[in-house]
Amino acid sequence: MVTPMVLVFGSNGQLASSLKSTGFAREATYLGSDRVDFLRAGSIERALDSHRPRLIVNASAYTKVDAAESDRQACELVNATAPQRIGKWAKENDASVVHFSTDYVFPGTGTSAWTEDDTPAPVNWYGETKLRGELLLRESGCHAVTFRTSWVFSEFGSNFVKTMLRLGKSNDELKVVSDQIGNPTYAADIAEFLDRTIEKIESREVSGTYHLSNAGPTSWYEFAEHIFARAAELGHPLRIKSVAPIPSSQYPTPARRPLNGSLCLERTKRAFDDGLPPWRDAVDRCLVKMGLPVENT
- Residues acting as catalytic residues: 126
CA atoms within 13 A on the CB side of 119: 2
Q: Helices then strands (H, E): number in the chain? A: 11, 12
Question: 59, 13 in Cβ contact below 8 A?
Answer: yes
Sorted by sequence, the CB contacts under 8 Å of residue 26 that are 6+ apart come out as none
List the alpha helices (DSSP H) in the chain: 14-21, 43-51, 65-68, 72-76, 82-92, 125-139, 160-170, 187-202, 220-233, 266-272, 279-289
Q: What are residue 58's DSSP bridge partners?
A: 9, 99
